[in-house]
């Protein structure tokens, strides 16, 4: 389930995880570490500079059973959103 960019921008994240200082596999390691901190149904925002994350985070979400919502890239880095489903 991906969400329109405008909707993503208005989304309130329960947690922002900054993985901009790391490249593959850093962003998914960061996501894995942080996901426990939010409740089921919560939204997590991952900041990344490695463009591979655009493919990797959705793959991680699919494997882990979370909903990948989409990404925004107009801040000069990537903001990727996901919803914790379990």
Partner 1 sequence: MTETQLVEAVTDNTEVKTRKTIIVFSGDFDKVMAAFIIANGAAAMDDEVTMFFTFWGLNALRRPEKVTTSGKSPLQKAFSMMMPRGPERLRLSQMNFAGAGPKLMQRMMRQEKVMPLDDLIASAREQGVKMIACAMSMDIMGLKPEELIDGLEYAGVASYLGDADEANVNLFI
Q: Name beta bridge partners: 63.
A: none
CB of 80 to partner 1, least distance (A): 15
**26 vs 42 by CB, closer to partner 1:** 26
Q: Tell me the CA distances in angstroms from 2 to 22, 26, 37, one per residue in order.
A: 25, 23, 23
> Which residue among the candidates 16, 24, 59, 85 is catalytic per the annotation?
24
Which C-beta is closer to partner 1: that of 9 or that of 33? 33
Closest CB to partner 1 among residues 8, 31 = 31
Residue 30 burial (C-beta neighbours within 10 Å; 0-12, 13-18, 19+): buried
| Residues that bind partner 1 in the complex, under the rule CB under 8 A | 21-26, 28-29, 31-32, 49-50, 59-60, 63-64
Beta strand 43-48 pairing with 15-18: parallel
Annotation marks residue 61 as catalytic: no
Active site residues: 24
């Amino acid at each position: 389930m991906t969400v329109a960019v405008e909707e993503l921008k208005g989304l309130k994240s329960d947690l922002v995880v900054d993985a901009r200082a790391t490249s593959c596999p850093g962003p998914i390691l960061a996501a894995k570490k942080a996901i426990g901190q939010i409740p089921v149904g919560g939204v997590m925002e991952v900041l990344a500079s490695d463009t591979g994350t655009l493919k990797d985070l959705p793959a991680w979400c699919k494997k882990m059973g979370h909903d990948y919502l989409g990404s925004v890239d107009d801040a000069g880095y990537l903001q990727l959103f996901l919803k914790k489903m379990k």
